[in-house]
Structure 1
């Protein structure tokens, strides 16, 4: 069964020189469970640079797969202790990204919950930033 949910996203990037970027947004999306995995689908916020982008998350017990489609195309896997790479395609060009997930907490049921990811981001094998991504899914989506 697909449920409409309120999705809150907080993303933080910390750089070597000590600066930090933080993006927060809320949107309405869908949550459903199929064959033991949760699926979360939402449209990205324009303020987060995601105008025209739909994001889907496949949440498994020890792995999160992010799939962005539209103006940005990317499929990124987050798995604790494993380096995963992916192409990140935008209208301006493509990059090869890698993430090394240091920590992952998944507390999700059909009523909602939280996903927390902490990872290092690399572009073309060069460290760029330490990132955290917090996603909160709640049933009280506005009608």
Structure 2
């Protein structure tokens, strides 16, 4: 059964030169489980600063992996499996970038009412380390 959910996303980046960034997104979306696989779906609207249009994000959680698939103004598929390097192409209207992620933490605690996904990983662009990242996704069922 698909439920309406509030989705809170917290991202942190630590850069090799020493500075850090954080982002937070609070949005609504859908959450459901089918045949032992959990799905989170939400949309992000573009903003004037980025000139990007709407993006739909699909997160699939199964078998100790988390797959992030973004479609729309950008196109990206990344798989987070602890200790396994994943290569992908990040496509925008401005061009393509080769990205790689090396996860060192992939954890989730989900039930049909929601839960959390926690990732820690290194991000590489063209095989060069860009940042150490943390991503925490909290999914909570909207109660009417």
Q: TM over 0.5, yes or no?
A: yes
CA shift, 1:22, in A, is 0.7
Aligned to 2:122: 120
**TM-score w.r.t. structure 1 length?**
0.93
Please tell me the root mean square deviation across aligned C-alpha atoms, in Å.
1.7
Q: Give, in whole Å, the separation in 1 of the partners of 2:25 and 2:53.
A: 13
CA distance in 2, matches of 1:27, 1:51: 16
1:73-123 CA distance string (max 9 Å, x none) = 001000000000101000111011000000111001111100000000001
Note the residue ranges of structure 2 that are not aligned, 5 or more in a row.
Answer: none
Matched, 1:66 2:68: yes
Bigger CA drift: 50-59 or 108-117? 50-59
Please give the alpha-carbon distance, in whole angstroms, between the structure 2 residues aligned to 1:115 and 1:53.
Answer: 20
The alpha-carbon distance between structure 1 residues 117 and 45, as it changes in their structure 2 partners (threshold 3 A), is farther
CA distance in 2, matches of 1:65, 1:14: 22
Q: Which residue of 2 is the match for residue 39 of structure 1?
A: 39
> Do the aligned partners of residues 113 and 45 (structure 1) sit closer, same or farther apart at CA in structure 2, a change above 3 Å counting?
farther
1:52 maps to which of 47, 51, 54: 54
* Number of residue pairs the alignment of both structures matches: 142
Corresponding position: 1:106 with 2:97: no
Task: Give TM-score scaled by structure 2 length.
Answer: 0.93
Partners in 1 of 2:21 and 2:46 — Cα distance?
Answer: 16
Residues 16-27 of structure 1: pairs in structure 2 closer than 5 A? 16-27=16-27
